[in-house]
Amino acid sequence: MTEPRYHLTSYGCQMNKLDSELVEARLQQRGYRPAVDEEDADVVLINTCSVRQHAEDRVWSKLGKLRVRKRTEPSLVVGVLGCMAQEHKRYMLSRMPHVDMVVGPSAFGDIDDTIEEARVKNARIAAERAPANTRHEVFGANMLSVDDGVSGDRIRRDVKVRPVKSQAYMSIMRGCNMPCSYCIVPTTRGDEVSRPIATLVDEANRLCDDGVTEITLLGQTVNAYGRDLKGQGADLSKLLRALHEIPALRRLAFITSHPNFLSPDLITAMAELPKVAKFLHLPAQSGSNRVLKAMRRGYTVERYRKRIDQLWAQAPDIELHSDWIVGHPGETEEDFEQTVQFCKEIGFAQSYIFKYSPRPGTLSSEVEDDVPTADKERRNQVLLATQEELSIAKNRALIGSTVEVLVEGQSKVAGRMTGRTAQHRLVHFESDDAGLVGQYVPVRVREALSHSCVGDLLAQDAAEESARDRAAAAGAGSVA
Ligand code: SF4
């Protein structure tokens, strides 16, 4: 009998992609094989995100195409996974007969059983969040990686199923307890649930044994990690310190942080631990206190600035990245101007800028969306241009210096390879040596673009010499 083939597409954030990776691992353990082309798959899965309208639109369009295909291939299994499945379950089951499975993010624990049942029995299935009193058990199963005695080894993460050999994501918590007015995550993903430190250290060790040298920890509010692990004294600073001990690990990053949880302990850990990446993704969202209040973000511009001052007092080399929402209900031109000024004042290295769109089920969606589309578009362009100037200035400052790059693969430009620095800056350099992928190489920057740098690959000893020269000149320091 031939093995069933699946094709999985992710629409969403890194956490969504990691979920997809874990679902794939589970399916492969079950004997399924990945289909390179979606047309060859017996099971087509779409892992979805509800945070942005654009991502949702792409999923609805995709489902429209699958409806046509299913007319001629009735045995095809179509599954919608993730946040949209949680959010639009009723609609999909009642109005989209070609969708066979609707599985919310907290019901991935039995995903292989669910898919197998839909395929073999040709049954339509809806799986949703489990009751709150089983949430730790379900979360463990959901992550396919907990060996807590409840779930057992059967669901340990198969660390070998990963798209990139040297890099891995690790979900350390999920859900969110914050009340942000525009965000659907607390509804779709539920309350914060953190995984124990020992479990995470075990998983990181297994990843590193399999060749990983860079781990990115994921959580919707990653620096709120541990709040629900009552009595265990777990927080992100302690987790970073525990993971930092793993000898093969060279870089340790974490996304996405909330300004309210940038604690003194976390700042000290970031300053003291050399393997911790030199960037912090800390969404400000707006530079207007009036808008921040309407967004229910729980901080003011002054508080955000104070936290950053504390961070830079101890760790001045950390670059900041932000998310922004322009055109939130009630945002005036003056509010927006404050956002532009705040973006410039902090000097963010990167920003992700979104035009507000109401998400059904959120608090913001209940108030009038009173900023005209044309104003949202203009503000978006203004903030993008502001960020571009900041980014290119930071990139220009690197010209002539040597940076350490973890090589990720070939660039889109022929004859170039590409990778990232510890500050998450994209760097391209001339080479077609695929053997460099996964290695840390020295690159001297010669050109600055708005979203990346271009440089020349150096011999290792030249880089060490250059680092020694700079350290001697500065009295201390290391390669960036
Ligand atoms: S902190 Fe706010 S924006 Fe981020 S996931 Fe939680 S509710 Fe959404």
Q: What are the extents of the domains in the chain?
A: 5-129, 136-393, 402-474
Cα 253 from Cα 123, distance rounded (Å): 42
Pocket test for ligand 1, best of 187, 191, 220, 304 (most atoms within 8 A of CB): 220
The whole-angstrom separation of Cα 410 and Cα 399 is 22
Contact 354, 52 (CB under 8 A): yes
Neighbours of 153 (CB within 10 A): 7
Strand 350-355 and strand 319-326: the pairing is parallel
Q: Which residues line ligand 1 (CB under 6 A)?
A: 176, 178, 180, 183, 185-186, 220-221, 258
Task: For domain 136-393, give the fold.
Answer: pyruvate-formate lyase- activating enzyme (3.80.30)
Choosing from 178, 281, 362 the residue with most ligand 1 atoms within 8 A of its CB, the one to mutate for a pocket test is 178
Report the alpha-carbon distance of residue 243 to residue 247 in Å, rounded: 9
Question: CB under 8 Å, gap of 24 or more: what pairs does 96-104 form?
Answer: 96/63, 96/67, 98/63, 98/66, 98/67, 98/70, 99/63, 99/124, 100/124, 100/125, 101/77, 101/125, 101/126, 101/127, 102/126, 102/127, 103/79, 103/127, 104/128, 104/129, 104/188
Q: What is the pLDDT of residue 133?
A: 35
Which atom of ligand 1 is found nearest the CA of 258?
A: 1
Q: What is the pLDDT of residue 342?
A: 98
CATH number of 402-474: 2.40.50.140
State the distance from the centre of ligand 1 to the C-alpha of 61, rounded, in angstroms. Answer: 27
Helix (H, G, I), strand (E, B) or coil at 442: strand
What tokens does 423 get? 């500050």
From the options 3.40.220.10, 3.40.50.12160, 3.40.630.10, 3.40.50.2000, give the CATH code of 5-129. Answer: 3.40.50.12160
CA 332 → CA 286, 291, 351, 460, distances in Å? 12, 9, 21, 53
Alpha carbon separation from 252 to 38, 363, 423 (Å, rounded) = 34, 35, 11
**10-residue averages of pLDDT along the chain (480 residues):** 88 82 85 92 90 84 91 90 84 88 79 85 65 35 34 53 85 92 87 93 95 95 94 94 98 97 98 97 98 98 98 97 97 98 98 93 93 97 97 97 96 94 96 94 96 92 58 43
| Ligand 1 geometric centre to CA of 239 (Å) | 22
Collapsing DSSP to helix, strand or coil, 333 comes out as helix
- 32 CA to middle of ligand 1, Å? 35
Residue 267 CA to residue 315 CA, distance in Å, equals: 8
